[in-house]
Homo-oligomer: A and B are copies of this chain.
Amino acid sequence: MTDSSHWVLTLECPDRPGIVHAVTGAVAAAQGNVTELQQFSSVDTGRFFMRVQVQSGFERSSFEESLRPLAAYLQAAWHLDEVGRRRRTLILASRAAHCLNDLLFRQRSGLLPIEVAGVMANHPDLRPLATFYGVPFTDHVVLPHTKADFEAEVLRRVEAEDIELVVLARYMQILSPELCEALAGRAINIHHSFLPGFKGANPYRQAHERGVKLIGATAHFVTSDLDEGPIIEQNVTRVDHNLEVPQLVARGQEQETRTLAEAVRLYAEHRVFLDGHRTVIFG
């Protein structure tokens, strides 16, 4: 799927006139052809965001060389990657299989540009599934007195295995503020409600009691402020008075599954940017 002559450049910096012209100038200097280009100037924060896909015969180092002085001038954070490169991903899971099954199936089918380095779970139930997909699986006893050890192991692996993305696939445990901070902007959680409605525990029960006509799911960046992280993707589905809580759970799982997969795809393709507490998505 990757193509060593097809690049994706992402860049963000304080907004000012002329950025697109300057960046596409660097692309032209590398004899590159733009295959996709999106940009956004945030009125709220004064930040500028850009994503460009470029086809070019240049060496990556030459291309980077031509971008470096420009980025410095623009005070820009930037990143260059190959289009379609599978990004190193670590999945945290618990007992629920639906999100993990979907992510692993999509990875194997070539539908998600991720390479799952491993699954870490606080229960052994999902081992056969991970094993079927050839993904290393470890289970851990995560209790109050062992949680710090578990989180240290997560961080150790993130560093040792070049993990670019941590996905909480219905992990169901609250991460410590320290781990949230350490993974800021690199960890995605799926919440089983249409946030900001029904934060906290048992969202489907809450939804049933409130009698809503649509239930949903929200994929968001993990922050220490629980269920308040920047939203990446949301979906809903229609429900009615006939459905009891277990049926809401079943319907909701479909939304969780597709919402998390889409958020992971967007992230893996470098389409998600943080703009203060909001996200910019170049979908």
Chain A interface residues toward B at CB < 8 A = 17-21, 24-25, 27-28, 31-43, 97-98, 101, 105, 109, 111, 128, 132, 194-198, 209-214, 216, 230-236, 240-242, 244, 250, 253-254, 258, 275, 277-281, 283
Contact = CB atoms under 8 A, between A and B. Distances in A.
A209 B277 contact: yes
This chain: how many copies in the complex?
4
A210 B197 contact: no
- Interface residue SS majority, chain A: mixed
A282 to B, nearest CB: 9
Nearest to A108: B97
A33 B101 CA distance: 39
Contacts of A105: 97-98, 101
Given A109-B98, A231-B211, A31 B17 contact: yes
Contacts of A280: 241
Contacts of A111: 250, 253
29 contacts: A17-B28, A17-B32, A17-B34, A20-B20, A20-B24, A21-B21, A21-B24, A34-B41, A37-B39, A40-B242, A42-B241, A98-B105, A101-B101, A101-B105, A111-B253, A132-B132, A194-B194, A195-B212, A209-B278, A210-B231, A210-B277, A211-B230, A211-B231, A211-B279, A213-B281, A214-B236, A240-B283, A241-B279, A241-B281
A123 to B, nearest CB: 16
Contacts of A198: 196
Contact of A234 (B35, B196, B212): B212
Given A21-B21, A35-B41, A105-B97, A211 B241 contact: no
Contacts of A195: 197, 210, 212
A25 B17 contact: no
A59 to B, nearest CB: 18
Contact of A197 (B17, B42, B197): B197
A234 B211 contact: no
A54 B213 CA distance: 26
A130 B30 CA distance: 49
Q: Which 8 A-B pairs have the closest CB atoms?
A: A211-B278, A21-B24, A197-B197, A213-B234, A17-B33, A241-B280, A196-B197, A20-B24
